[in-house]
Amino acid sequence: MALSPSQYARNLRFQLSLSGPVDVMAVAHTLSVPVYEEELDRFEGCLLWVGGNARILVRASIPYETRKNFTIAHEFGHFYMPHHKRNTFSCTAEDIARYCGDSVYENEANEFAAEFLLPRSELEKQLVSTPDIAVIREISAQYGTSLTSTAIRVVETTCEPVAVVLSEASKVRWVVRSRSFPFRVKTGVLHEWTYAIDYFSGKELPGDPQHVVATAWCDGVSRENLLIEESVAFGRLGMVMTLLRVPADDDVCGNRS
């Protein structure tokens, strides 16, 4: 029976005796898979087979090193998983943006990369309280993973009621909820009561967590329900990542005035 992408990622980490953060270039050297940065027009990364030898191309102009790391690990997934063996994989930004791709192969390579760079077993040890943006930043810096991919891993792993939302052009692009997050997050245009919409209106985002009425983000909830919103802008990408969490009794936050 074939393994899951996460299991393949754990197998490769075991075979390479890896623990903690991964140096993707060192892994590429060990696997004899050279990585070249090129000015690719349509793709973020490619896996090519030439004469029985694999090589990886990654777009040189990717704005964040952590995003390059994820792209390279994504191509490792195509290289390592046996059922992905074929001549070429040419992967777009949409393919590598988790929860946005339509291809099973690309989704599997994303799952592989997420587990390879930030294993669930190691992440669980760090999630000793309700996660916030500060915790996500700390883990992202430690493992060299992007803030977005780290947030997704945290939300998928924690038992706390949290959700992560990515917005672009004033619209929700995707949502990931933890198993215990009790509400359904709206899709479509951001509500005017959210803080995330401020970025797309040319305003500064708050630097601290803020209380927001749950109806601004979620369907089927009472106007008495509150959420805590932390929104971070990615200026070079024109996107906003939002972490939503259900308030605990001791949470102290600002409020939309």
Q: Note the pLDDT tens digit of each residue in 182-235.
A: 999 999 999 999 999 999 999 999 999 999 999 999 998 988 999 999 999 998
Using left for φ > 0, alpha for ψ between -120 and 50, and beta otherwise, residue 202 falls in left
Pick the range with the lowest mean pLDDT from 14-18, 60-64, 119-123: 60-64
pLDDT (0 to 100) of residue 256: 59
Specify whether the backbone of 135 is left (phi greater than 0), alpha (psi in -120 to 50) or beta. Answer: alpha
Can you tell me the mean pLDDT for 57-84?
93
Q: What is the pLDDT of residue 254?
A: 60
Domains and CATH numbers, the chain: 5-117 (1.10.10.2910), 121-255 (3.30.450)
pTM for the whole structure: 0.85
**Structure tokens given for 137:** 């930043």
Examine the pLDDT at 77 and tell me if it is beyond 50.
Answer: yes
Q: Is the pLDDT of residue 1 over 50?
A: no
First to last CA, the chain: 56
C-alpha 40/C-alpha 150 separation (Å) is 26
What is the predicted pLDDT for the residue at 92? 87
